[in-house]
Structure 1
Amino acid sequence: MRGEASRIADRTSRDSLAPRLREAGDDAWRIGNELFSITDLLDHSTHVERALTDPSRSLDDKKRLLTTLLGDQAHPLTMEILTDLAARRWSRSGDIANAVEDFGVDAFMYAADSAGSTLTVSVQLAELHSALLNLPVVRARLYDEKVPAQVRIRLLHTVLGGNNLDPIAMRLAEHATANLRNRRYLATIQWLINKFSRHMGESMVTVTTATPLTPEQIGRLSHIYSSRLGRAVHINSVVDATVLGGMRVQVGDEVTDNTVVAQLQQLRRKVRVSA
């Protein structure tokens, strides 16, 4: 968990620079990629993390370090964000990498806003999360540190098959396995879904069924979960014939699985225990 100083630094910096990111338009894609690259660099260099968060070093000294790391190729707003973060006080040095990653995700959310694809990205991430729930071996490979990042990314593309994700959804899905950051793959995807949901001012409710939901069913589910959560929701309907029947509902990290296949699995476990 981040200490109080880090939480304040992260929130103050992002609140201050959010308008600039929002106005970046198409450049937000480039900025997000640069910030993800810096996140990876910081994760693999505690020396740089400490240098950028050392309160005894002057900001000018930190700027020179950033210029050495980034050269003159980085987007000016990327440099401005990193300089702003370096000027803040942090509870521990590793927290600055978390803040850089947060900014990177923010940049991609604003890029999605600019492209008019914010809801599409959120839905596609939710569908990916739902699809991987029943693939534990694949999930384990996607966050296996012993497997090279490029191999993990190829595995992700294989899992997706011919499904053409929005470029931003694909980049975020790739980031989740390329930059593991000591997290499980589904935990990172859920974190991204939650961020997009908050960004849109609503919650994502993913409902998996064997056949498509009718508009009436979607309307009833929307009413039920809006009342339960106290805010607007978006019903993401996922069709998966392998569930056979029933319904699996996921809201954030909470999953309620009343599908036929889940009930059969539970019955098998009971039979094994009683045997």
Structure 2
Amino acid sequence: MQGEASLIADRESRDSFAPKLRAAGLENERIYQELFSFTGLLDQNKRLQRALSDPSRPVEDKAKLVDDLLQGKAHPLTVDILHDVVGRRWSRMSHLGNAVEDFGVDSVMYLADARGVTLRVSIELAQLHSAFLALPQVRSKLSDPYTPEADRVAFLKAVLAGQKLDPVTEILAIHATRALRNRRYLTIIQWLINKLSRHMGETMVTVTTAVPLAGEQIKRLTATYTAKLGRPVHINSVVDPAVMGGMRVQYGSEVTDHTVVAQLQRLKRTVG
């Protein structure tokens, strides 16, 4: 949970740069990479993170340190964003890294907008989340901080081979295992789904069934969850024969599982 100072700093900073990132369009291909790289640099160097988040250190001094690290090779908007965040007050030094990562994800979302694939990316991430829920060994390896980053990324690419995901989906899926930052892989994926949903102004509701939903079922679910959540929703229908029957519904961190396989598992635990 971020402190009040961090919440204010994060909101003000990201709100001020949202129009600029949107206007950057396809240039976000470069910007997000630079921001993610800087996030990694902060995570690997606590001394640097402390220096850049120290409220007693002059802002000009911190901005110069950023410039020295970037060596004049970063996109101007990346430089402006980093100058802005190091000039703000954060409740904890780790919140500075959170803010830079948030900006990196924002940059990826505006890249998706520029390519016209934002909804597709959101759906594909939801499908990945649903699929990995049934693959605990895969989740474990992707979340293992003791496995080298390069090995986790290579493993994920092997798992995703042949899936024909949008390149932007792959960017976010890879970032989730590359930058664990004391989080579990699916926790990061869900965070990304939530950010994309807010970005699009709607909530993603993933419905997993053994057979495809009929059009009328999707309409009823849309109406039901729009009324329940009080905002527009998008129904992401996932077909998984392994659930055998029934329905699993997930939005945000809320999961309602009325599938046959879940009922059998509950019965097994009760009898056992």
Give the alignment of 1:22-171 within 5 angstroms: 22-171=22-171
RMSD: 1.0
The normalised TM-score by structure 2 is 0.97
Aligned equivalent of 2:4:
4
- 3-state DSSP class of the match of 1:234? strand
- 3-state DSSP class of the match of 1:204? strand
- 3-state DSSP class of the match of 2:206? strand
- 3-state DSSP class of the match of 1:84? helix
Aligned equivalent of 2:257:
257
Give the alignment of 1:186-265 within 5 angstroms: 186-265=186-265
Q: Which amino acid aligns with 2:16?
A: S
- 3-state DSSP class of the match of 1:23? helix
Give the superposition deviation at 1:140: 1.1
- 3-state DSSP class of the match of 1:213? coil
**Higher alpha-carbon deviation: 44-53 or 111-120:** 44-53
Aligned equivalent of 2:271:
271
Q: Report the identity percentage.
A: 61
CA distance, structure 2, for counterparts of residue 59 and residue 258 of structure 1 = 54
Q: Deviation string for 1:50-87 (max 9, x for gaps)? A: 11122232222212211221112111100100001111
CA distance, structure 2, for counterparts of residue 93 and residue 256 of structure 1 = 37
- 3-state DSSP class of the match of 1:124? helix
CA distance, structure 1, for counterparts of residue 260 and residue 161 of structure 2 = 26
CA distance, structure 2, for counterparts of residue 8 and residue 230 of structure 1 = 26
CA distance, structure 2, for counterparts of residue 56 and residue 270 of structure 1 = 58
The normalised TM-score by structure 1 is 0.96
Give the superposition deviation at 1:243: 1.1
Give the superposition deviation at 1:240: 0.8
The size of the alignment, in residue pairs, is 272
Structure 1 residue ranges (4+ consecutive) displaced by more than 3 angstroms after TM superposition: none
CA distance, structure 1, for counterparts of residue 223 and residue 135 of structure 2 = 31
**Which 5+ residue runs of structure 1 have no aligned equivalent?**
none
